[in-house]
């Protein structure tokens, strides 16, 4: 069964909308753990639109499961990661004008930028995952650079319906096999929800799914613990 990483960024989004103290992502993480989360995921963006520097440190000190920090290859963010030492960092692309991460990291085109960041993080004892589109050349480069996990971008799969979605699923399955063939841990995420997660969770040797928006949205109705529990049931 794939493990569930719960992304709590949008708890911080609500807090930052008022520049307030609540809701506190630390409490959200604790409730997510009670619901069965195997991992807590946060994205420290360069513009600090939701998660803040302090959140990273406090969550590292309080979370009892794996902490996964999503981040760009920006030097100041890398320095924060090396100080906080989450168990895992997932390197992602980042554009200031985007609402959410729009695609996978181009490790082929940005090899010279990504390679030293991977080494710096790994030297700090942090496991490194790379958020990639399901493209063979990107996966091959991730393996060459020594990435320990690849998180396949499931955004296009989530957007499509019917036959088009099945085509996207086939791409994910094929890419997933390539990841596994390289001895790299297979993760997936982006746009997954209670309706579409099943087929992705069933991909052979899937290790971890990272899901945020749909769980936080459900939590507004039923509470974080219950929302996470319901998603965990779909992965079992």
What positions carry a catalytic annotation? 43, 70, 190
DSSP secondary structure string for all residues of 136-188:
HHHHHHHHHTT-SEEEEE-HHHHH--HHHHHHHHHHHHHHHHHHHHTT-EEEE
**CA–CA distance, 211 with 30 (Å, rounded to integer):** 16
Cα-to-chain-centroid distance, residue 6 = 8
Radius of gyration of the chain (CA): 17
Q: Which two tokens stand for residue 3?
A: 């493990």
Q: Which residue has the tokens 């999503």?
A: 70
Is residue 158 within 8 A of residue 192, CB to CB? The reply is: yes
| Nearest to 166, CA basis, from 180, 156, 179 | 156
């Amino acid at each position: 069964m794939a493990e569930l990483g719960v992304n709590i960024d949008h708890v911080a989004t609500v807090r930052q909308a008022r520049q307030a103290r609540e809701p506190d992502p630390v409490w959200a993480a604790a409730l997510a753990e009670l619901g069965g989360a195997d991992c807590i995921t946060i994205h420290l963006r360069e513009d600090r639109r939701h998660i803040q520097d302090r959140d990273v440190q406090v969550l590292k000190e309080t979370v009892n499961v794996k902490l996964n920090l999503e981040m760009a290859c920006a030097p100041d963010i890398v320095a924060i990661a090396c100080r906080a030492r989450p168990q895992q960092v997932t390197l992602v692309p980042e554009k200031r004008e985007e609402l959410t991460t729009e695609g996978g990291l181009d490790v082929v085109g940005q090899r010279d930028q990504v390679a030293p960041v991977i080494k710096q993080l790994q030297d700090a004892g942090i496991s490194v995952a790379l958020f990639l589109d399901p493209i063979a050349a990107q996966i091959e480069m991730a393996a060459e650079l020594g990435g320990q996990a690849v998180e396949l971008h499931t955004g296009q799969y989530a957007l499509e319906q019917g036959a088009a979605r099945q085509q996207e699923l086939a791409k994910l399955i094929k890419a997933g096999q390539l990841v596994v063939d390289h001895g790299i841990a297979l993760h997936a995420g982006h746009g997954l929800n209670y309706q579409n997660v099943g087929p992705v969770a069933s991909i052979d040797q899937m290790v971890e799914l990272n899901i945020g928006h749909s769980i936080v949205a459900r939590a507004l109705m039923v509470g974080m613990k219950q929302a996470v529990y319901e998603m965990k049931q779909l992965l079992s």
